[in-house]
Amino acid sequence: MSYLVLARKWRPQRFEDLVGQEHVSQTLKNAITADRVHHAFLFTGARGVGKTSAARIFAKALNCQEGPTTEPCGVCPSCVEITASQGIDVFEIDGASNTGVDDIRELRENIRYLPSQSRYKLFIIDEVHMLSINAFNALLKTLEEPPEHAKFIFATTEPHKIPITILSRCQRFDFRKIGLLPLQERLRYIVDQEGVQISDVGLAMIARSGGGSMRDALSTLDQVIAFCGEQVADDSLQGLLGLVSRRILLDSIEAILERDAQRVLALVQKVDEHGHSFRQFCQQLVELVRALVILKVAAQPGELLDYSGNELQELRELAEPASLDDLQRLLSLLIRTEADLALSNYPRLTMEMVLVKLASLPAGTDVAALVRKLEALERRLAGAPLPAPAPVAAPVAAPVAAPVAVTPAPPRPDAEPPLPPPEPEPEGKKSEVPPGAASEKDWAGLVEFVNRRRRPIGSVLEHGRILLLQLPRLKIGFPEKFYNLAADSDLQQTIEDLANDYFAAPVKLEVTRVEDEQSAPPSLHEEREKLETDRQKKLKESAEQHPMIRSAVEIFGGAIEEIRPIDKGFVE
């Protein structure tokens, strides 16, 4: 005799055998008892939850020789034929294979005739949403006013695809997904009858892999028995289903919450060594973190979680030290990672980097706590007047680096005190300026003048160090990286011409290399950088002494990272 798969062998034969669909069973039994049986029913729900089985049981209840009855005998010819899918007056039609209007016309012709040996003719159309629009239209009139001896039962996983005109003529029953515990209890009964040894943990894995479908769970159980025989070990079952060990999952979440990145990497290596799919690993982590979030929100999760009592206690202990914000952030990143892993060429690397990032993130701060701190800061500062900030000197052009033998230019009000002149050189730097030299002209003015006329040349001069300014002699020193550029004869001639125009006197330019930058006077560029650094330092000191900022740092436990002058804007 050919082997009969468990899903067919243990197909429900009574209303009491419909696991997880008590609301449907009770309603149908009440309708039979009260003799209020409708002529058209629509059974909707996920795959493998008992829609077609319920239709067969209902057909047996209506056509049983002892009935109509809520407890079909199962031994009369009608019950036996329906159980074997050979009922003469019970027609099981596959909607996916009979989609055309001609098939429905044939059904309409058949419905006119009385049942051959039963009380009713029943038409069970599975996957009814696959019928064409014309087929639905051909069925409308018959469905609205069928003969008294005809009953229709439609089954579908996608009720939204059925026209509203059909829906309005049917009584609709929504079949639920089967919970983990009822599914596990049914599997326990079946394996006991089959003589298979398997632990409760193993049955929970099989039930969870079914995703709420009894048929899927029984198909998995068939595969497990074929692989393991009558003694099913948990390790073998995990390997067959491709599931990551629950211990590895719990340790991974624990390592992330404890900010232990090294331990996370070791666990990822274990997953890789066992040959598990990293996408499956990520999916199981998502399910586990979801359970932790639910336990944080609901102390008694009820039907929200399909876990045994011991598993729930273990999850509660894991979730206890974690905050809800941290778990939600962890869940969001894992969900995005699961989608990325489907396209990644480096799944292990992707998984490692995400888990290391999660283990390195600082703990989140509760928004309510931040609001309370802000309110405390407002109360502390409510009566305190805000002092004016300390004055800060604005940056100016570099001060005079070398004196000219003329009357010095009056200092600007916002200028810093000029730096002392460079040490004299032994080549007569202090000789008198010849008559006719320009007055009130200096090195900084010359560079500003050149910048207005020839900006590229002015940029070079800003890095020069004035060694001598004794008209007609002008001696400039440059560091190594600017000397080769400044030593160009054409450039020197251009600088001489611009200096002649600025001083209104003949100028003889001399360019030299500066070997020891510490002994030479600073360039205008260096002076500006020094002034800006001093200004930033004063700004930071002023900010650190400001009472409002000090209070904010104290309340939030922060630190001043950056000072941005208002006059320079806030745009990066």
Q: Check which CATH number belongs to the domain holding 505 and give it.
A: 3.30.300.180
Indicate whether 355 and 483 sit together in one domain. no
Indicate whether 398 and 469 sit together in one domain. yes
DSSP state string for 26-56: HHHHHHHHTT---SEEEEE-STTSSHHHHHH
- Is 407 inside any structural domain? yes
- Is 65 inside any structural domain? yes
29 Cβ neighbours under 8 A, 6+ residues apart: 15, 61, 70
3-state SS assignment for residue 20: coil
The secondary element (H helix, E strand) that includes residue 195 is none
- Is 140 inside any structural domain? yes
Indicate whether 222 and 312 sit together in one domain. no
Single out the residue in 321, 338, 360 at which a domain terminates: 360
Indicate whether 441 and 505 sit together in one domain. yes
Residue 300 sits in a domain of what CATH number? Answer: 1.20.272.10
Single out the residue in 136, 158, 174 at which a domain terminates: 174
Residue range(s) defining the domain that contains residue 265: 248-360
pLDDT at 369: 65
Residue 227 sits in a domain of what CATH number? Answer: 1.10.8.60
- Is 13 inside any structural domain? yes
Indicate whether 514 and 407 sit together in one domain. yes
**Phi, psi angle pair for 174, to nearest 5°:** -95, 115
Indicate whether 64 and 162 sit together in one domain. yes
Cα 49 off chain centre by: 32
* pTM for the predicted model, two decimal places: 0.59
Provide the domain count of the chain. 4
Residues making up the chain, counted from first to last: 572
pLDDT along the chain (572 residues), means of 10: 82 90 92 91 92 92 87 88 85 81 83 86 90 86 86 92 91 90 90 90 87 90 88 84 84 90 91 88 91 86 76 85 87 91 90 91 65 72 54 46 42 46 44 42 83 81 82 83 76 83 84 75 81 77 76 74 62 42
pLDDT at 188: 92
- Is 503 inside any structural domain? yes
pLDDT at 521: 81
- Is 371 inside any structural domain? no
**Measured distance CA(447)–CA(383) in Å, rounded:** 52
**Measured distance CA(180)–CA(527) in Å, rounded:** 76
Indicate whether 225 and 352 sit together in one domain. no
Indicate whether 148 and 33 sit together in one domain. yes
pLDDT at 430: 37
Indicate whether 168 and 224 sit together in one domain. no
pLDDT at 482: 78
What angle, rounded to 10 degrees, do the helices at 234-241 and 200-209 form?
10
Contact indicator for 317, 292 with CB cutoff of 8 Å: no
Indicate whether 459 and 338 sit together in one domain. no
Indicate whether 208 and 335 sit together in one domain. no
- Is 557 inside any structural domain? no
- Is 449 inside any structural domain? yes
Structure tokens, 336: 């995005």
Residue 88 sits in a domain of what CATH number? Answer: 3.40.50.300
* Residues paired with 153 in a beta bridge: 41, 124
Q: Using alpha carbons, list the distances in angstroms from residue 448 to 443, 485, 487, 496.
A: 9, 20, 21, 15
**Measured distance CA(439)–CA(147) in Å, rounded:** 121
Indicate whether 186 and 102 sit together in one domain. no
The secondary element (H helix, E strand) that includes residue 514 is none
